[in-house]
Structure 1
Amino acid sequence: MELRVLKYFLVVAREENITKAAKMLHITQPTLSRQLMQMEEEFGVSLFKRSKHSIILTEEGRILRRRAQELVDLAEKTAKEVSRQDEVISGEIAIGCGETKNLEPMAKVMAAFQQVYGDVHFTLYTGIADDVKERIEQGTLDFGLLIEPVDVSRYRCLRMPWKDHWSVLLRQDHPLAAKEAIEPQDLAGQRLIMPARLSVLTQVEAWLGRWQDEICTAAFMNLSVYNKEVLTQNGLGLALGLDFNFTLPGLCLRPMKPAIENGSYMVWKNNQFLSPLLERFIEFTEAYLREHYGAQGGE
């Protein structure tokens, strides 16, 4: 059994569609179908249940998938270990991120990585999670630093060490500035600058609860802490967003009660070929976060 054919089998098992799998593998559908039938003849069992629109694994197929993945992973790991002696780690790493405190530990990782691999440079793209995920899927970004709420089920990921906490940004001369924390009922009748990203807006509306009908939305906006502060400074409204502990003159931050906090993930595409550079950066990042911030969860 050739390793190449096992890889074909794994792609078909994942996609559950011969046509789609053949396109991904850059081979013809008849060629792929013939390879699968030869595999079934070699093992003497049916590996797939075939229908008009899909192809799914039999019990024997599921057993083979586990073993095939182990064999492919071992072969790739062995090849990397053998070739790594002469590897030259250089090139570009493209990372997309939103505005999060976790950019600080990520920046420390990047700086430490460059100290070891001086021929590596980074390209950073700032955008909301939906934009970053789209660019990862398109292949224009290698990694994303995504802030919750976000679905990362389609990605490999590392959990970042810090939590981002939400606050209300307001002018120091506003009556609510006298409060230690802002509760939903405090915002009744206020003009608010709200997040434009739908999943985040839903989170904020859940926090507001029955009081959301009592507020007036002055503006929706994504990202740019500075722009949000300029709008607040000039009286457009109170801004709800993440607390970065710095403000323009005349502004202040008050925590939201009950608290809203969001974690972040470093993500990359699942089931894709990774260059030695990207493989090394993932390994380096995981080790750095574990050493400097405690054990981090890979998911």
Structure 2
Amino acid sequence: MDLRVLRYFLAVAQEKNITHAAKQLLISQPALSKQLADLEQELGTPLFVRGHRQITLTESGEYLRARAMELVDLADKTVANIATEQVIGGELSIGAGESVGMQRIMNITSDIMLDYPDVKIRLVSGNAEEIEAQLTKGILDFGVIMGERPLEQYNHLQLPEYDRWGIVMRKDDPLSRLEQIQPEDLKNRPLLVSEQAIQDHRFQSWWGNTGSAIPIVGTYTLIFNAKLLVKNNRIYLLTFEHLIEDSTSEALVFRPLKPEVTEPITVIWKKNTVQSKVAELFINRLKTNLKSLA
């Protein structure tokens, strides 16, 4: 298996038609069909279900597509960074959750892009586990994670900002009259909670015995769609402060938890890895930025 064949495979998976993919790749249809057949033989499993008008991926094909996209993206990024070795250029990839701390990261990134127009930015959203997995695979240069995590395998810098948990609700909700929200206030009130917070049992100690009386009606990974649900229904959203300050939140309000619950914000990157010039520049500028606060 080589990258060229993986690119062929991805083109067919995208087009769902070998003839269309062959035209896009500028090769003959028989040659492309043979490459796919050889790939299936090499892997020992069918990758496609060949229909009359289009083809679809088998379960093995779907798995290969996800892995192939990662490998091709990594190869393209590596080539781009090597090609710009003598200058600051290439791609800077940062994965992060939604957090107030991202403003500092985006300020530094914006300055780099202004100073070095050949730099391209790739932003990936995800929770801490997803970000760490992509760092390990070399898909991301940096991750920005919220909360206490094991950091032994990473280089890391902690930001001075922190995220404070609270409840987002409609402005006309009776709870909006409170300055802070205690566990008892949420009894019998439908609540949306971050998927990662549920997995980590983050609020088990905060709501204690009251937790059994708080109905968790759903989870979310990114906040935008969750805000829309809160806006349209009498549902409460457990999330970080400063994430509803946009045009979709005109009817919403944030109230912090009592007792207060906060999370540290940390920038992480792989140890023992040769960084591209643009990644080294990002690290140096972030360190300088943090030192200026000391």
Same fold (TM over 0.5): yes
Distance 1:115 1:289, change over 3 A: farther
Secondary structure in 1 matching 2:249: coil
CA contact (8 A) 1:192 1:218 kept: yes
Write the distance in 1 (CA, Å) between the matches of 2:171 and 2:197.
29
In structure 2, what is the equivalent of residue 261 of structure 1? Answer: 262
**Superposed CA offset, 1:39-77 (max 9, x none):** xxxxxxxxxxxxxxxxxxxxxxxxxxxxxxxxxxxxxxx
In structure 1, what is the equivalent of residue 208 of structure 2? Answer: 209
Question: 1:168 offset after TM fit, Å?
Answer: 0.4
Question: 1:201 offset after TM fit, Å?
Answer: 4.9
Question: 1:249 offset after TM fit, Å?
Answer: 2.8
Question: 1:183 offset after TM fit, Å?
Answer: 0.5
Write the distance in 2 (CA, Å) between the matches of 1:277 and 1:195.
33
In structure 1, what is the equivalent of residue 281 of structure 2? Answer: 280
In structure 2, what is the equivalent of residue 172 of structure 1? Answer: 171
Distance 1:89 1:125, change over 3 A: same
Write the distance in 1 (CA, Å) between the matches of 2:102 and 2:203.
23
In structure 2, what is the equivalent of residue 186 of structure 1? Answer: 185
Write the distance in 1 (CA, Å) between the matches of 2:265 and 2:182.
25
Write the distance in 1 (CA, Å) between the matches of 2:200 and 2:234.
19
Number of residues paired by the alignment?
Answer: 207
Indicate whether 1:251 and 2:242 are aligned.
no
Amino acid at match of 1:277: V
| Structure 1: 5+ residue stretches without partners | 1-85
Write the distance in 2 (CA, Å) between the matches of 1:219 and 1:175.
22
In our comparison, the structure showing a higher alpha carbon Rg is 1
Which of these residues, 232, 248, 253, is aligned with residue 234 of structure 1? 232
Question: 1:268 offset after TM fit, Å?
Answer: 0.4
Secondary structure in 2 matching 1:170: strand
Pairing 1:4-153 to 2, within 5 Å after superposition: 87-153=86-152
CA contact (8 A) 1:158 1:266 kept: yes
Write the distance in 1 (CA, Å) between the matches of 2:278 and 2:241.
34
Question: 1:284 offset after TM fit, Å?
Answer: 1.8
TM-score, length-scaled by structure 1: 0.65
User: RMSD of the TM alignment (CA)?
Assistant: 1.8
Write the distance in 2 (CA, Å) between the matches of 1:179 and 1:253.
10
Question: 1:198 offset after TM fit, Å?
Answer: 4.7
TM-score, length-scaled by structure 2: 0.66
Question: 1:204 offset after TM fit, Å?
Answer: 1.8
Distance 1:200 1:236, change over 3 A: farther
Secondary structure in 2 matching 1:274: coil
Write the distance in 2 (CA, Å) between the matches of 1:269 and 1:199.
27
